[in-house]
């Protein structure tokens, strides 16, 4: 006996899954009751979702709202299916680190003049945890020496006039 699953948007209708079959109406394989090896089918679906269907070609039978990471050389962009085609999702795109950033991140003796021991310890923790935004906002950007390092790494410098910044 077939079972039926519903879309989040009830206006889209339902999908009927027949017994002992694998439904491929969407980008995921949906096993029917009594399907052999259904566990691997479900596990592969989880993996596809975790990686946002990362591939050089778009997933088959996409549904509106679905994400796809286009891993084509030079593209490396997260895309969204809008119901008619794939569009860039919020301009997210894989890129290279700024010049000098990896050298700075990997340098064990990165302490610079003007950065206190306490702040240096905090920077080291943030680097271990890959909290780059914390390093930039709370450490590098706050002191004249940090601003010099920031510029040396090739980042633009913008003065933030809000209280507590650049002090």
Report which listed range, 12-21, 75-84, 87-96, 121-130, is most confident: 12-21
**pLDDT at 113 exceeding the cut of 70:** no
For 35-39, what is the mean pLDDT?
Answer: 93
Q: Average pLDDT of the chain? A: 76
For 98-104, what is the mean pLDDT?
Answer: 56
What is the distance between the alpha carbons of residues 35 and 79, in angstroms, rounded to a whole number? 32
Q: Do residues 146 and 160 make contact, with C-beta atoms less than 8 angstroms apart?
A: no
Output the pLDDT for position 53: 94
**Domain boundaries defined on the chain:** 1-50, 52-94, 101-152
């Amino acid at each position: 006996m077939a079972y039926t699953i519903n879309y989040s948007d009830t206006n889209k209708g339902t999908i009927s899954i027949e017994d002992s079959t694998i439904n491929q109406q969407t980008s995921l394989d949906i096993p029917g009751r009594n399907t052999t090896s259904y566990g691997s089918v479900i596990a592969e679906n989880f993996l596809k979702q975790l990686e946002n269907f990362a591939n050089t070609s778009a997933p088959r039978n996409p549904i509106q709202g679905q994400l796809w990471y286009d891993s084509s050389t030079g593209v490396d962009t997260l895309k969204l299916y809008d119901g008619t085609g794939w569009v860039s999702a919020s301009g997210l795109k894989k890129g290279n680190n700024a010049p000098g950033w990896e050298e700075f991140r990997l340098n064990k003796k990165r302490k610079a003049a003007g950065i206190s021991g306490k702040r240096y310890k905090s920077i080291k923790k943030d680097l271990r945890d890959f909290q780059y935004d914390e390093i930039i906002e709370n450490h590098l950007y706050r002191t004249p020496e940090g601003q010099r390092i920031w510029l040396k790494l090739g980042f633009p410098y913008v003065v933030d006039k809000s209280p507590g910044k650049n002090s």
